[in-house]
Structure 1
Amino acid sequence: MSDLPVIYDITGPVAKTAEELRQQVIETATRLSPGITTDLPGSLIEDMVSTSVGALLVCDQARVDLINSCSPYGSNVHLLTHLGGIYGVPQGEGTNTSVYVVFSGPPGFAIPKGFTVGDGTYLYTVRRDTVIPDSGQTEPVYCLATTTGIWAVPAGTVNQVKTSVPESYQVTCTNLTAGLPGTDEQSPASYRAQVMQAGMFGVQGTPDCYRSALKKVNGVQENLISFRQATLGKWVAVVGGGDPYEVAYAIYKAVPDISILTNDVSNPSGAEVEKKTIPVTVYPDVYQVPFVVPSSQNVVVLITWNSASTTYIDPAGVAKAVQQNIADYVNAIAVGQPINIFQIQDIFLKSVEGLVAASLLSMIQVQIGINGAIKPPAPESSLVYGDTYAYFSTSAAQIQVKQYASSN
C-alpha cells in the first residue's frame, strides 16, 4: 500500500476497483516469485490472492475516507473535534438562560461574583464583580441561570435578592429588559459550519472575523450576531448573550478600527435600543467598545386552516404537530430579519403530511402578532418585519392553530 497515490487533482481521491487491486497483487507476487501461477481455480495461491484483494478493497476505501475527512464538512465527529481544537472553537455544550439585572441600594455596596437573585422559580448569579455607584443604581449586570434549560424571562420578573444582605442595607433588583433563553447543545451540523468559518478567520474580511470571534464567547447565540452599516463610515455591532466584557474584547480583537463602531441607533417602532459601551484595557490604554444588545419581541402566530377532506381530521392533532416546529422557526430567525409567512405555510404542510394530504388543504391563513398587536406583512410581500435591533421570541403555547369555524 506504500505506493498508493498521495497527490490528487480537483476530483480528490478515488477508490481503486477490485480488478486494479488484483492486478497490483499479481504483479507484486510475480516480481517476488517469477513464474508463479496465481489464477488456478481452487488453489491455495488463488485463494490468498482473492483474500488479499478483499482486504485491499477495505484498506483503499479507508484511505479515501480518511483523506475526505480532512475537511470540516466531511470529517467524522472525532476528527471534527480535533479540527475545532486547532481553530480554537470547541463544540458548544449549550448555554443557560441569561438576564441583565439592575441593582439599587446604598452607594458603595459591593455586588460580588456569585451574588444570587431570582424570579420565584429560577436562580441567577452575577458573573462579574460590581459595586453600586453614587447614583444608587448600577448599570445592567450580566447574570446567568444556575440550572440548564430554556425558558422566557419577561422584563421586571427577576426582582428577588437571594443572597443574604445585612438588614441595615436595602438592596433591590430588577431586570429592565427581557432575558435571553438558553440554548441546547450545539448540533454537529452547526458545529461543522462554525469550524469551517473559524478556518476562514482573517481571510474574508471583518464580518467573518467578527462572527468567528463572537461565536467563541460562551453564551452568545449565533442568530443574534450581526455587523451592519448604520450610516456612511459607521457600523453597529449587534450581539445577544455572553458576558459583556468578553463580548467587548471579542469585538476589539475582530474589528481593525473600533472608531467606526457606534451604538447611536434607533428602532423603527420607537422601542428603546439596549446600548452598551464597555471599556477594554490594553495596558496602558483603555478603549471604549460600543455595541447593541438586541431586545426581545414576543410573537404570537395565529393559523386558521381548513381542508376538503371527507374524513374527520382531528384539529388538536394538527395543532400539536405544527406548534413546536413553527416556534422553532420563529426563535431561530436572525436579529432584525423578518418572519416569512410562506415559510410558515410550508412548515405547516410538512408537519401535517402524515395527517392530511397537502392536496386536500383548502386554507392556511397566517397572522403574526408582535408585542400584543397584529402586524401585517410589508406591502407586496409575505414578510412581517419587527424592529431592526430586536429578535423574535415565542413558544409552542403561543402558536394558535384553529380549524376554520364553518368546517365540520
Structure 2
Amino acid sequence: MTDNIAGTAELADLEMPVQRGCPFTPPAAYERLRERAPISKVRLAGGGEAWWVSGHEEARAVLADGRFSSDKRKDGFPLYSLDEETLQQFRSQPPLMLSMDGAEHAAARRPLIGEFTVRRVAALRPRIQDIVDQFIDGMLAAGRRPVDLVRALALPVPSLVICELLGVPYADHDFFQSRTAMMVSRTSLTDRRRALAELRAYLGDLMTRKESEPGDDLFGRLIARKREEGDLDHAALVSLAFLLLTAGHETTANMISLGVAGLLTYPEQLALIKADPGRTPMAVEELLRYFTIADGVTSRLATDDVEIGGVSIKAGDGVIVSTLSADWDPAVFEDPATLDVERGARHHLAFGFGPHQCLGQNLARLELQIVFDTLFRRLPDLRLAAPAEDLPVKTDAVVYGLHELPVTW
C-alpha cells in the first residue's frame, strides 16, 4: 500500500496481505485509510478496484445488508487470494455456505443452527475439558523445553473437538491439517489447488461411508434428517463437510496461540484472569477483537445501488470489509491498541456480522475459555521462550496466526 492516500479521489494501492506489526498490531496503513474515510476506493494488487470498508459502523451496515452478495461465483466479485484456475476449481463444486445469499443461504444454515446453540455447546464442556487436560498432560510428560504450543495444544485441541463433533476420524488429522494449511497459504497456487482436490476427495469418501452407516454425530444426524426429507445431496454434503472441518479447527487454533502469546506479553492482563477466572469470557472477547484473525476475507459484491456512510456504492462494485480495522476503530473502542481484558468488547466483528456471522462462535468461545483457564492454572509459570517480536507469524496466510509458539515454564 502506498502512503499517498490523502485525497479521497485517489486510489490507494492495497496489496494483501499487508503485514501486521509487533506482530500484534494492524498495518499502519489501515489507520491512515480509516482516518481519511471509513469507506475508501482501493486498487488491488491483482488488478481491479474495490471499496475498502474500515469503519465499524459502516462494516456492520454492509454485512447486514442483503444488497451485498457473498456469492464468489458472480462476475466482478473482489478476489485477491484466488487465481482464475483455483476459482474455477471452487466454482465446479456446490457452493459453500459462505458463498450463498438469501433464501439459499438460510436453507443451508437452518439445519445446523441447533447443533451450535449455547445450550448444545455447553453440554460439550466436560469433553472439551478432558481433551485440553489430555494435551497439557502430554506437554508436562514430554520432559523437553521449550515446547511449541501450536503443535502441542493450540492445533490438536480444536482439531479433536471438531472431529468428534462432526464424526471425522481424528487419526486422519495430519492429513486434513496439512491440506488446510496449504489451502489458506498464499504461497504456491499449484499446492493450494492440489490440497483442495485431495481434501474434497477425502471428504467425498468419508461422506459416502457415513451415508451407508450414519453415526451419532453432526453429519450422521444431518444425513438421517436429509434422507427422511428426501433431500440428501452428496455433493452438497461434501461442501458442507469441507467448510465445517477446515473452519472448525484452523481459526480456533490460531486464536489459541495468539491469545496465549498476547496474555504472556501483557502479564498485567493475564494476572487479572488468573486472580478471577470469571473474567475469562470478557478476556476472550477482547482477544478476539484485538487480533481479528480473519481480516479481509469478508468480501461482498453490490447487487444494487447502495449508500453506506454517505458513500454511493454502485451495483457491480466490489466491497472488502476489513473487520480488523473496524475492530480497532477508536470511535467504538477507546484506545484500541491497548489489550484490556475488562473492556467488554462483545460487539466486535471477529465472527463477522449479519446473516453470515460465524455459526460456530459459541463453540470457539468455549474452547478458548477452557484452554486459557486450564493452561494458566496448571502451568502458572508459563512464559514465552522467544521475544514476542520474533514469533513467526502467518503473513503468508489468509487467516492470521503463528506458525510456532515456543513456551517454557
For this structure pair, what is the TM-score category when the shorter chain's length is used for normalisation?
A: under 0.3
Q: Look at both structures and tell me which one has the larger radius of gyration over its CA atoms.
A: 1
Greater percentage in strand: 1
TM-score (normalizing by structure 1): 0.22
- Specify which structure has the bigger relative contact order, considering alpha-carbon pairs within 8 angstroms and separated by 6 or more residues: 2
TM-score, structure 2 length as denominator?
0.22
